[in-house]
Structure 1
Amino acid sequence: MDYNIMYENATDAEELPGVFAAVKWIQVVTSMLSIVGSGSIIGYAVFQNAVRSPEVRPLFYLSVSDLLLAFCWLLGAVLYNPSTGGLSCFNLQAAGQMFYLSTFFYTINYMWQSFSNSRRRINQELYQISDRELRIGKIATVLCSAIPVLFISPVFYYGNSEECYGNNSDSCLVLNIGSHITVDPVSYRAAGCAALHMYSTTVFIVTFGLSTIGILVILASSHQLFRMNQRDSRSLQDHWAVLTVTRHSFLLFPSIFLFCCLPVVTLTLVSMKGINVTYQALCYIQAFTAVSQGFLNSLAYGWMQQMYRCLKQNSVRHADTQTPLLRSQKNLYAAMQTSNTYIGPRSVSAF
């Protein structure tokens, strides 16, 4: 395989410095927005003492991963200078890919934890989490951080020992996750550096594909769960507002994930065929979307909180307008439907 194919079109390659200069400032803005967004979720979880909440904990870890990724991209934009580059840019590129992979895994973890919490709410078993489920949750959280480190460790070790980074500085933008870990054409002449290039690209693409499949499977399972239990009176008593909001989140968060990551994957694939107009356009699109997941997640989380409050207020107003006879009939019907079912405490936290 010819690894210098991306430099065959000299005209397009000459235009890249101007493209990267514009991308630098876009990357600064989007990185700062992501830092503010993910930091707001982290701050809320810490100051509200909600980190241990089963609903907030997976989103907290996802936000930490988004925050580290945003810092990495912001640092890359600050360090970017066409006249400098080398070792620091290479390591920053590798760290950016590692944090990006962790966001994939933590997104799956958030979806899976939300699905498990919803299933327990529907079955009125929110406060009956088994020790096995707790152990699986802790192991999954550790693996979400350990697997990216395991995958990228060979890139750090071999790339630094063989000096695959060359003298290139464009990678300081963390623009081409996976495909341009070693972007200097001179470096590609070494068989080991060329293999490292393909390894990092393959890890990124395969991990994204498997993560997307996992998210879609969880999404289909959650749809089936809500469809089968939408008329179950047990799920419409204590937790109906939370379940309604969670059902919307199962569509919102995967949409944000795909919106932010698809341009990165597309650019990675296109860059393997060479620099062209499509490549340059994708550079701009990726600069806006690639690191925006933390910011968009904070907007989605804020909207979910507001939606939950509105549903709870409407429920209270609806209960206040009922006559004593209607309220007694409703309570009697609920008691008849759930007489043989465990009912959890009435007071629960939403998010």
Structure 2
Amino acid sequence: MALPLEASILEDSWDLVFSAIQWIQFVMATLSVIGSTSLITYAVFQNIQKSPEIRPLLYLSFSDLLLGICWLTETLLYGTSVPSKDIICYNLQAVGQIFYISSFLYTVNYIWYLCTELRMKYNQSGQSTPPLVIDYTCRVSQMAFILSSLIPLLLVTPVFCLGNASECFRNFSQSHRCILMHSPPSTMTELMPSANTSVCSALYFYGITIFLTSFLLSLLTIMVLLIQAQTLFKKFVKSTGFLGSEQWAMIHTVDQRVRLYPVAFFCCWGPAVILMIIKLIRPQDTKLHMTLYVLQALTATSQGLLNCGVYGWTQHKFHQLKEEARRDADTQTPLLCSQKRFYSRGLDSLESTPAFATSASTIL
């Protein structure tokens, strides 16, 4: 009699966990949608949405917005009796895969543009950039946007086609898979007698593979690009021949960003990645899985919110540094008045590279 009682207690514990995950995901997805919408609205009202530096940020924010809507819809469907809910949940999960892989690639695309813009400004040494170089950068940026949108769609197409054809959506929502990323089809043999279990299992491992691969490659690329950006930025500042307090403060800020970006990006998706790896090694649910499920619901759905928050903080710090530097320039002695003009030129050059000043929002 002890075993059935223990199994019943464990089942009740999992029901409480899934209920908590539903509410956590609902709150965080709502905040993520608000954050992404705010960032997009800010760019539109500031009339900077067509800026080459801001455009990749808008792509990322739009992807975060659609992903947040998918998360939010899944939580609203969970626990309700809607016709064809299993089909809707299964396809929403597949659509969500498209958007979070796209967000990885859009992040890499934005950091690549940051490095390219910084490299052009350093190589030109204050001269005007040739139109051919600008045209080449724009073409590559457009191609990167197309690939960042097309690659996730192509990767997830088998999940749509084969999954629906093999009826992998059967009893999808009843096994809590509507609110969980890549929940293993461990009970397919019992719950889905009419489904092609071998195809569904293969699609499950395929989904995990493309998720882990895209995350790890994106994280590695981002770290390499940010280290390169830090080096280029230091060379750019030192090439002016004078390092004032504002320039040193900006270098310090860049050093912080190089540490912040990969950490923030990993914190957003790290629990989901760790959970996927552990589930591959130990498929049976444990207390560790329970904890990671909750962390995943808390972090993975908050990408849009974190992007918006870090963007606002970065903008505030950047403007604060500019104001402090201008106040310092205004209080210079007559012997140092010539530095004031140089200082203003340095500020203008920094202001003309908002990609670096505002790039913190695209790494999470």
TM range (shorter): 0.7 to 0.9
Q: Can you give the 5+ residue segments of structure 2 that lack an aligned partner in the other structure?
A: 1-6, 359-364
Indicate conservation of the 8 Å contact 1:13/1:275, yes or no: no
2:48 corresponds in structure 1 to 50
Indicate conservation of the 8 Å contact 1:159/1:193, yes or no: yes
2:277 corresponds in structure 1 to 269
SS of 1:306's equivalent in the other structure is helix
- Cα offset, 1:195, TM superposition: 1.4
Partner Cα separation in structure 2 for residue 125 and residue 92 of structure 1 = 50
- Cα offset, 1:192, TM superposition: 1.6
2:290 corresponds in structure 1 to 280
Picking from 144, 148, 152, the partner of 2:148 is 144
Q: How has the CA–CA distance of structure 1 residues 23 and 125 changed in structure 2, closer, same or farther, with 3 Å as cutoff?
A: farther
Q: How has the CA–CA distance of structure 1 residues 269 and 329 changed in structure 2, closer, same or farther, with 3 Å as cutoff?
A: closer
Q: How has the CA–CA distance of structure 1 residues 225 and 211 changed in structure 2, closer, same or farther, with 3 Å as cutoff?
A: same
TM-superposition CA deviations, 1:242-261 (whole Å, max 9, x none) = 77756644443332211111
Of the structure 1 ranges 45-54 and 127-136, higher mean CA displacement relative to structure 2 is found in 127-136
Indicate conservation of the 8 Å contact 1:120/1:126, yes or no: no
Picking from 213, 227, 238, the partner of 1:231 is 238
Of the structure 1 ranges 250-259 and 193-202, higher mean CA displacement relative to structure 2 is found in 250-259
TM-superposition CA deviations, 1:169-228 (whole Å, max 9, x none) = 12221x22xx32756523586222221111111111111111111112112212332344
2:312 corresponds in structure 1 to 302
Indicate conservation of the 8 Å contact 1:90/1:181, yes or no: no
SS of 2:37's equivalent in the other structure is helix
2:148 is the counterpart of 1:163: no
Q: Report the identity percentage.
A: 39
2:362 corresponds in structure 1 to none
TM-superposition CA deviations, 1:12-67 (whole Å, max 9, x none) = 56632221111000001100111111111101111111112232221111111111
Indicate conservation of the 8 Å contact 1:38/1:294, yes or no: yes
SS of 2:238's equivalent in the other structure is coil
SS of 1:327's equivalent in the other structure is helix
1:109 corresponds in structure 2 to 109
Output aligned runs, 1:72-87, within 5 Å: 72-81=70-79, 85-87=85-87
Partner AA of 1:15 in structure 2: S
Q: Can you give the 5+ residue segments of structure 1 that lack an aligned partner in the other structure?
A: 1-8, 339-343
Q: How has the CA–CA distance of structure 1 residues 167 and 126 changed in structure 2, closer, same or farther, with 3 Å as cutoff?
A: farther
- Cα offset, 1:347, TM superposition: 7.1
- Cα offset, 1:329, TM superposition: 6.1
- Cα offset, 1:283, TM superposition: 0.8
Q: How has the CA–CA distance of structure 1 residues 266 and 148 changed in structure 2, closer, same or farther, with 3 Å as cutoff?
A: same
Q: What do you get for the CA RMSD once the two structures are aligned?
A: 3.1
Of the structure 1 ranges 121-130 and 224-233, higher mean CA displacement relative to structure 2 is found in 121-130
Output aligned runs, 1:221-260, within 5 Å: 221-233=228-240, 248-260=256-268
2:183 corresponds in structure 1 to 180
- Cα offset, 1:235, TM superposition: 8.8
Indicate conservation of the 8 Å contact 1:229/1:235, yes or no: no
Partner Cα separation in structure 1 for residue 342 and residue 252 of structure 2 = 24
- Cα offset, 1:234, TM superposition: 6.3
Q: How has the CA–CA distance of structure 1 residues 44 and 126 changed in structure 2, closer, same or farther, with 3 Å as cutoff?
A: farther
Q: How has the CA–CA distance of structure 1 residues 346 and 110 changed in structure 2, closer, same or farther, with 3 Å as cutoff?
A: closer
Partner Cα separation in structure 2 for residue 117 and residue 235 of structure 1 = 22
TM-superposition CA deviations, 1:130-176 (whole Å, max 9, x none) = 32111100000111111111100110011011101211212221x22
Of the structure 1 ranges 127-136 and 210-219, higher mean CA displacement relative to structure 2 is found in 127-136
More helix by share: 2
1:94 corresponds in structure 2 to 94
- When normalised by structure 2's length, the TM-score is 0.81
Indicate conservation of the 8 Å contact 1:23/1:283, yes or no: yes
Aligned length: 332
2:67 is the counterpart of 1:59: no
2:38 corresponds in structure 1 to 40
Q: How has the CA–CA distance of structure 1 residues 329 and 278 changed in structure 2, closer, same or farther, with 3 Å as cutoff?
A: closer
